[in-house]
Structure 1
Amino acid sequence: MTRVSPPRPGNERLPAGKPPIAKAVSKTGFKSLDFVVYPAHGVGQIVAVEEETVAGFKLELFVISFAKDKMKLKVPLPKAASVGLRKLSEPDVLKRGLDTLMGRARVKRTMWSRRAQEYEAKINSGDFIAVAEVVRDLYRSEAQPEQSYSERQLYEAALDRMAREIAAVEKVTDAESLKLIETQLLKGPRRTAKTEEADEDEGEAEGVEAAA
């Protein structure tokens, strides 16, 4: 009778299937080389999935590269959802965002500091439509008064976030993406002093209704 020797310690075979880290990654819906949107920084790419030991605990981490900013960020897999990490927008969402640019700017009659906080919150929300609203509201054509320094900063931040995501989804250059955004903005109603006053009144009225 043939005797089967028991397996030696350390030579046990692991059950077939994905290793633990691969299973953890699959649960998040993201994988290495995916382009993603991190709310506070915009579009980045998952360049690696690493495992590190911190205070005796093993952590799986997404390593996200933001090439334009020359920055890398590590996000624990379990926190990917809570920090707002998401996949690139679907084409229908991009279309809604581009259509938003053609709408009338909506400017509330409130102190600039308060409006600036609202714009910044929209930019860092990671919501593509919200970012498009900031671009629309802060856009100024050559015929309009120049923006203040702080307005310009917020406008360029929102424009950059929007352009990078469009470029990643449509696989075009940043310059082509910016051109598309500009084309959409030029299709919107021309801003004059009268229309700006009307938009402010409308925004103020909406605020009163919301408070009621």
Structure 2
Amino acid sequence: MNIGDKVVYPMHGAGEITGIETDEVGGVVSSYYVFRLPMGNMKLMLPVDKVEEAGLRPLITPEQVKDVVEVLTDETDQMQGSWNKRFHTNLERLKTGNIFDAAAIARNLSRQNSKKKISSGERRLLDLSRQILISELVCVCGKTPEEITAWVDELIGVPTATETD
């Protein structure tokens, strides 16, 4: 990984490696990748030797965007079990850093929420899955977060915020 690389940090989303810093924590000196995540304007640091363990991966290719579109426009998965069980299953899926899982979770929870309000826990998971999905699509497609958000909502088939006001 190099400075300037755009990568996906599971559970946070896509961003750019902006630097490598050395820091001392608990008497141990380590090197850290510094990431800037444009969504939320967040800065994260990850020890260089923990990259593989953290699941850092490159962005999807522009050709793979069509596969994400397929997931977003696909039928809603059957939502079975209690919200708590669904929450933990979806959380584990998000932790993998797989954009297709994030897209499916965003699709399923968005559609469920448009029919009947979901629990606050699932709402947080919906927001996180959308952040992860949208941040990567912003980096790959070169569009603004607002443009990608509207596009994702259109693909999922739920009313946008302006349509519900």
Q: Which moved more, 1:71-80 or 1:111-120?
A: 71-80
1:126 equivalent in structure 2: 97
TM-score, reference length from structure 2: 0.82
1:82 is paired with a residue of what secondary structure?
helix
Question: Residues 170 and 70 from structure 1, CA distance in 2 versus in 1: closer, same or farther, beyond 3 angstroms?
Answer: closer
- The one of 142, 150, 153 aligned to 1:179: 150
1:92 is aligned, of 31, 53, 63, to 63
2:39/2:135 contact within 8 Å kept: no
The aligned runs of 1:3-14 (5 Å cut-off) are none
Point out which structure has higher relative CO (alpha carbons under 8 A, 6+ apart).
2
| SS of equivalent residue, structure 1 residue 36 | strand
Identity, % of aligned positions: 25
| Maintained 8 Å contact 2:76/2:108 | yes
Q: CA RMSD in A?
A: 2.4
Q: C-alpha deviations, 1:166-207, integer Å up to 9, x for none? A: 0111110001111221221129xxxxxxxxxxxxxxxxxxxx
User: Structure 1 residue 156 and structure 2 residue 132: aligned?
Assistant: no
Of stretches 47-56 and 115-124 in structure 1, the one that deviates more from structure 2 is 47-56
Q: Which has the higher strand share?
A: 2
The alpha carbon displacement at 1:56 in A equals 6.9
Aligned partner letter, 1:45: E
Give 2:118's aligned residue: 147
Matched, 1:42 2:13: yes
Q: After superposition, what is the alpha-carbon deviation per residue over 1:5-24, rounded to whole angstroms, capped at 9, x for unaligned?
A: xxxxxxxxxxxxxxxxxxxx
Q: Which amino acid aligns with 2:98?
A: D
Identify the residue that residue 66 of structure 1 maps to in structure 2.
Answer: 37
Q: TM-score, normalised by structure 1?
A: 0.66
User: Unmatched 5+ residue regions in structure 1?
Assistant: 1-29, 188-212
Counterpart residue identity of residue 147, structure 1: I
CA distance in 1, matches of 2:110, 2:41: 27
Assess if the C-alpha contact under 8 Å between 2:111 and 2:156 holds in 1.
no
Gaps of 5+ in 2: 159-165
Task: Report the CA distance shift for 1:110/1:31 in structure 2 as closer, same or farther (over 3 A).
Answer: same
Specify which structure has the higher proportion of helix: 2
Note the C-alpha offset of 1:58. 5.0
